[in-house]
């Protein structure tokens, strides 16, 4: 009997552990409910604290800020020394006055010389002995136009010497040499073949009824002489032998001697303030 009872009892399941678990769960749930409604537990704050306390990935170490390079001042500019330029050597002084201008040009050419379209006749550029064009009609027309303009200012111009042949110049030069000697004559009179009058383009100008000023420096001081010097270039003439230029032109100052070269060129020479030789040399 006891044996069967024991067997029966062993077959019965124990229920008390489950009862204890249920009691504990009920107590925990009830306590939690009470604590929540009593304000003892704030679930929202609790969850926020849990979230904020979650481990986070370690922050990457901050890279040190690159150091700004210390500005380096550029070296002061090296001033280039300008190369020393030696003063130009002084040119040998030109002196064509007197007989010196003929040196090396004693032989007359077969053909006349033109420079920049201008017929040359000087101690450096002689003419052929047979060159005999006569007085230039163009130059004569230009002189007549100039004389008409001067007349409006009550100045009566005359051309007392224009074209001279080679033979005529021979006579004149020989006479001057006989009177004053060759050295003096070479300063104011051209040897045959070297005279501008042989071109037919040179006009010796004076004033009517004032013959005492013909071929004299005093003509340059007269009203007529000053008028021609100021206006001749307008009509194609230039003062051929200016004052103080004897070493360049080869002749003394001749305020009466004008050379026709055309209006355009005469204007350019006049504005340059140069002699014909200087003007042509710089072109």
pLDDT, tens digit (0-9, with 9 covering 90-100), for 36-89: 444 544 545 545 554 554 445 555 555 555 566 566 666 666 555 554 544 443
Residue 282 near residue 164, CB atoms below 8 Å: no
Residues 83-99: what's their mean pLDDT? 62
- Give 207: exposed, middle or buried? Use CB within 10 Å, 0-12, 13-18, 19+: buried
Assigned domain for 69 exists: no
Tell me the mean pLDDT in the region 114-136.
98
pTM recorded for the entire structure: 0.68
pLDDT at 1 over 70: no
- Is 57 contained in some domain? no
Q: What is the CATH number of the domain that holds 125?
A: 3.30.1380.10
Same domain, yes or no: 122 and 222: yes
Rounded to 5 degrees, φ, ψ at 216 are -130, 150
Tell whether the model's pLDDT for residue 162 goes beyond 90.
yes
- Classify burial at 91, counting beta carbons within 10 Å of its beta carbon; exposed 0-12, middle 13-18, buried 19 or more: exposed
- Catalytic annotation present for 103: no
pLDDT of residue 205: 98
User: Within a 10 A sphere around the Cβ of 109, how many other Cβ atoms?
Assistant: 14
Whether residue 194 contacts residue 121, with contact meaning beta carbons closer than 8 Å, is answered with: yes
Whose tokens are 């350019």? That residue is 268
In a domain, 59, yes or no: no
Specify whether the CB–CB gap between 97 and 244 falls below 8 A.
no
Catalytic residue among 93, 254, 264, 277: 254
Alpha-carbon dihedral sign for residues 6, 11, 17, 19: negative
> Are both 150 and 261 inside the same structural domain?
yes
Considering the domain boundaries, does residue 4 fall inside one? no
Question: Could you list the residue range(s) of the whole structural domain that residue 39 is in?
Answer: 17-50
Is it the case that residue 262 has pLDDT exceeding 60? yes
Q: Averaged over 247-257, what is the pLDDT?
A: 98
If asked whether residues 170 and 262 sit together in one domain, one would say: yes
pLDDT, residue 127, reads 98
130 lies in the same domain as 33: no
Q: What's the structural domain count of the chain?
A: 2
């Amino acid at each position: 009997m006891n044996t069967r009872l024991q067997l029966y009892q062993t077959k019965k399941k124990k229920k008390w552990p489950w009862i204890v678990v249920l009691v504990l769960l009920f107590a925990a749930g009830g306590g939690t409910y009470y604590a929540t409604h009593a304000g003892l537990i704030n679930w929202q704050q609790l969850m926020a604290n849990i979230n904020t306390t979650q481990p986070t990935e370690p922050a990457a170490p901050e890279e040190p800020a690159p150091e700004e390079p210390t500005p380096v001042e550029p070296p002061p500019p090296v001033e280039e020394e300008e190369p020393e330029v030696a003063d130009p050597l002084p040119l040998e002084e030109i002196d064509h006055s007197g007989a010196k201008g003929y040196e090396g040009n004693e032989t007359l050419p077969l053909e006349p010389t033109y420079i920049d379209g201008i017929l040359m006749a000087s101690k450096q550029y002689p003419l052929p002995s047979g060159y005999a064009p006569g007085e230039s009609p163009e130059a004569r027309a230009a002189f007549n136009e100039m004389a008409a303009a001067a007349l409006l200012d009550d100045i009566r111009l005359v051309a007392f010497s224009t074209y001279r042949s080679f033979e005529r110049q021979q006579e004149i030069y020989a006479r001057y040499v006989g009177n004053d000697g060759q050295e003096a004559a070479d300063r104011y009179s051209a040897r045959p073949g070297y005279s501008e009058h042989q071109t037919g383009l040179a006009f010796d100008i004076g004033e009517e009824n004032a013959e005492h000023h013909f071929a004299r420096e005093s003509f340059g001081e007269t009203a007529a002489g000053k008028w021609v010097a100021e206006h001749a270039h307008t009509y194609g003439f230039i003062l051929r032998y200016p004052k103080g230029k004897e070493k360049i032109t080869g002749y003394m100052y001749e305020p009466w001697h004008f050379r026709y070269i055309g209006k355009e060129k005469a204007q350019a020479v006049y504005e340059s303030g140069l002699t014909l030789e200087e003007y042509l040399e710089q072109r």
